[in-house]
Chains A and B, each alone.
Chain A
Amino acid sequence: MSIDKATVEHIAKLAKLEFDDQSKEEIMKDLDRMLEFVDKLNELDTDNIEPLTHMTEEHNVLRADEVKTEISQAEALKNAPQKDSDYFIVPKVLKREDAD
Chain B
Amino acid sequence: MNNSIHEIRAKIQKGESSCIELTKSYLQKIEENKHLNTFLEVFSEEALENAARIDKKIIGGNAGKLAGLILGLKDNICYKGHKISASSKILEGFESLYSATVVERLIAEDTIIIGRLNCDEFAMGSSNENSAYGEVLNPVDNSKVPGGSSGGAAAAVKAGLCHAALGTDTGGSVRQPASHCGVVGLKPTYGRVSRYGAIAYASSFDQIGPITNNIEDMALIMEVIAGSDEYDSTCSSQDVPNYRKELQLTGVKKIGYIKDCLENPGLDAEIKSRLEVIIKELRLQGHEVVPVDFPYTDFLVPAYYVLTTAEASSNLARYDGIHYGYRSDQTDSWESVYFKSRSEGFGKEVKRRIMLGTYVLSAGYFDAYYAKAQKVRRIFRDKTNEILNTHDFILLPTTPNTAPELGENTKDPIAMYLEDIFTVQAPLTGLPAISLPIGEHTNGMPFGIQLMGRRFSETALFAFSNEMMQNFGDN
Partner of A92, one of B302, B320, B334: B334
- Tell me the complex Cα distance, A1–B464, Å: 49
Using CB atoms, name the residue of chain B closest to A88. B322
Most chain B CB neighbours (cut-off 10 Å) among A51, A53, A76, A78:
A51
Q: Is residue B325 within 8 Å, beta carbon to beta carbon, of the partner chain?
A: yes
- Tell me the complex Cα distance, A56–B190, Å: 7
- Tell me the complex Cα distance, A70–B98, Å: 9
A44-65 contacts to B, CB under 8 A, are 44, 46, 49-58, 61, 63
Q: Is residue A33 within 8 Å, beta carbon to beta carbon, of the partner chain?
A: yes
Task: Please tell me which stretch of B101-109, B112-120, B271-279, B376-384 contacts chain A, meaning at least 4 of its Cβ atoms lie within 8 angstroms of it.
Answer: B376-384
Which chain B residues border A52 with CB–CB below 8 Å? 374-375, 377-378, 381
Which chain A residues border B339 with CB–CB below 8 Å? 16-18
- Per-position 1/0 for B286-327, Cβ under 8 A of A: 000000000010110111011000000100010011111111
Judge whether A56 and B359 touch: CB under 8 Å.
no
What is the interface of chain B mostly: helix, strand, loop, or mixed? Answer: helix
Judge whether A71 and B299 touch: CB under 8 Å.
no
Judge whether A11 and B351 touch: CB under 8 Å.
no
Given A40-B302, A90-B322, A46 and B333 contact (CB-CB distance below 8 Å): no
Which chain B residues border A41 with CB–CB below 8 Å? 299, 302-303, 306, 369, 372-373, 376
Given A31-B356, A38-B306, A17 and B343 contact (CB-CB distance below 8 Å): yes
- Tell me the complex Cα distance, A63–B229, Å: 11
Partner of B371, one of A12, A51, A75: A51
Partner of A80, one of B302, B323, B362: B323
Most chain B CB neighbours (cut-off 10 Å) among A17, A38, A43, A82:
A38
Which chain A residues border B372 with CB–CB below 8 Å? 41-42, 46
- Tell me the complex Cα distance, A27–B359, Å: 12
Judge whether A31 and B375 touch: CB under 8 Å.
no
- Tell me the complex Cα distance, A19–B204, Å: 29
Number of residues of chain B lying within 8 A (CB) of chain A = 69
Q: Is residue A93 within 8 Å, beta carbon to beta carbon, of the partner chain?
A: yes
Which chain B residues border A11 with CB–CB below 8 Å? 355, 358-359, 362
In the assembled complex, the CB of A16 is this many whole angstroms from the nearest CB of chain B, namely: 4
Which chain B residues border A80 with CB–CB below 8 Å? 322-324
Which chain B residues border A58 with CB–CB below 8 Å? 191, 233-237
Given A14-B362, A37-B414, A93 and B376 contact (CB-CB distance below 8 Å): no
- Tell me the complex Cα distance, A63–B373, Å: 33
Judge whether B413 and A81 touch: CB under 8 Å.
no
In the assembled complex, the CB of A31 is this many whole angstroms from the nearest CB of chain B, namely: 6
Partner of A93, one of B233, B326, B334, B381: B334
Which chain B residues border A10 with CB–CB below 8 Å? 362
Task: Please tell me which stretch of B30-38, B48-56, B89-97, B123-131 contacts chain A, meaning at least 4 of its Cβ atoms lie within 8 angstroms of it.
Answer: B89-97
In the assembled complex, the CB of B96 is this many whole angstroms from the nearest CB of chain A, namely: 9
Which chain B residues border A8 with CB–CB below 8 Å? 355
In the assembled complex, the CB of B133 is this many whole angstroms from the nearest CB of chain A, namely: 19
Given A11-B358, A53-B374, A91 and B352 contact (CB-CB distance below 8 Å): no
Q: Is residue A34 within 8 Å, beta carbon to beta carbon, of the partner chain?
A: yes
Which chain A residues border B322 with CB–CB below 8 Å? 80-81, 88, 90
In the assembled complex, the CB of A18 is this many whole angstroms from the nearest CB of chain B, namely: 5
In the assembled complex, the CB of A95 is this many whole angstroms from the nearest CB of chain B, namely: 8
- Tell me the complex Cα distance, A43–B338, Å: 39
Q: Is residue B331 within 8 Å, beta carbon to beta carbon, of the partner chain?
A: yes
Using CB atoms, name the residue of chain B closest to A3. B359
Q: Is residue B430 within 8 Å, beta carbon to beta carbon, of the partner chain?
A: yes
Judge whether B313 and A34 touch: CB under 8 Å.
no
Judge whether A75 and B97 touch: CB under 8 Å.
yes
Q: Is residue A79 within 8 Å, beta carbon to beta carbon, of the partner chain?
A: yes
Using CB atoms, name the residue of chain B closest to A38. B302
Given A12-B355, A30-B352, A81 and B321 contact (CB-CB distance below 8 Å): yes
Which chain A residues border B191 with CB–CB below 8 Å? 55-58
Judge whether B305 and A37 touch: CB under 8 Å.
yes
Judge whether B355 and A79 touch: CB under 8 Å.
no
Judge whether B375 and A51 touch: CB under 8 Å.
yes
Judge whether B324 and A79 touch: CB under 8 Å.
yes
Judge whether B376 and A31 touch: CB under 8 Å.
no
- Tell me the complex Cα distance, A17–B379, Å: 34
Q: A11-B358, A38-B306, A58-B233 are in contact. List 16 more A-B contacts (CB 8 A).
A: A15-B313, A15-B354, A17-B342, A18-B339, A31-B359, A38-B302, A40-B298, A42-B372, A46-B372, A51-B377, A79-B97, A80-B323, A81-B327, A82-B327, A90-B337, A92-B334
29 pairs from A and B in contact (CB 8 Å cutoff)? A10-B362, A11-B355, A15-B355, A17-B342, A17-B343, A17-B346, A18-B339, A27-B355, A31-B356, A34-B413, A34-B414, A37-B414, A41-B369, A41-B372, A49-B375, A49-B379, A51-B371, A52-B377, A54-B204, A58-B233, A58-B234, A58-B236, A61-B237, A79-B323, A81-B321, A81-B322, A81-B325, A88-B322, A91-B332
The 4 closest A-B pairs by CB, nearest first: A51-B374, A79-B324, A81-B327, A52-B378
The chain B residues found within 8 Å of chain A, CB to CB, are 93-95, 97-98, 190-191, 204-205, 230, 233-237, 296, 298-299, 301-303, 305-306, 313, 317, 320-327, 331-334, 336-340, 342-343, 346, 351-352, 354-356, 358-360, 362, 369, 371-379, 381, 413-414, 417, 430
